[in-house]
Amino acid sequence: MELLKLLIITLGILTLCIIAMVSLVIWRDRRELRLNQITREISRLEESIKEIYQIKEEMEKMLTAARKHTDLAVSQVEGQVKQVRNSVAHLEQRLHVVGLSGEKRNIAKEREKSQRSQGKGKPRGNSRELKQKENRSGKEEPVKINDGEKYAKLYELADQGLSPQEIAQRLNLGYDEVELVLELKGKRLS
């Protein structure tokens, strides 16, 4: 009987040891499983961070390229605007010169006609008198301001909300000229 008790106690202790060993193995497996899961999650996060940095670098490259293209396009447009302004100024000067020479011709023709109708033929007055008459007729023409001031005033009036027709009247310019300048400036008003 004692032997049986001893055998039961030994079997109980062995059973407890086996249970403890199985529990230890299960605990270790769970711990390793958790560590493996954590390691996998860390690896995924590291890969995601690398991808984010790569995307960031690509975006910076694209942004730099876009800035370069924008700067290039802006400089080209500015160059074209300068060329158009120079062309417009040159054409205005030529129109002004052609207009003045045309007015002088018209004045001379009118004098000749009036003198012929009076039977005098060509005028014999000295050139100083003719110039004074031309200057008097030239005084009727409004005083021209330089192009820079004219366009600055034009833009200022456009910013105030005046119509192209009102601007043309105030600055003594042609309606078409005002419209053209505003279109070139990108401030077209209706």
For residue 178, is it within any domain? yes
Give the pLDDT of residue 49. 96
Q: Which of 159, 157, 183 is nearest to 168 (CA)?
A: 157
Cα angle 37-38-40, degrees, rounded to a multiple of 5: 65
d(CA 119, CA 117): 5
For residue 162, is it within any domain? yes
For residue 188, is it within any domain? yes
What's the pLDDT tens digit per position in 2-48?
Answer: 888 899 999 999 999 999 999 999 999 999 999 999 999 999 999 99
Higher per-residue pLDDT: 63 or 183? 63
For residue 12, is it within any domain? no
Give the pLDDT of residue 120. 52
Per-residue pLDDT, averaged over 68-94, amounts to 88
For residue 19, is it within any domain? no
Structural domain boundaries, residue 152: 144-190
For residue 80, is it within any domain? no
Q: Give the CATH number of the domain where residue 163 resides.
A: 1.10.10
The first and second tokens of residue 168, run together, are 């043309």
Let me know: does 134 contact 142? Beta carbons within 8 Å. Answer: no
Count of domains forming the chain: 1
Q: How many CB atoms lie within 10 A of CB 157?
A: 19
For residue 148, is it within any domain? yes
What's the pLDDT tens digit per position in 149-185?
Answer: 778 888 889 889 999 899 989 888 888 888 888 888 7
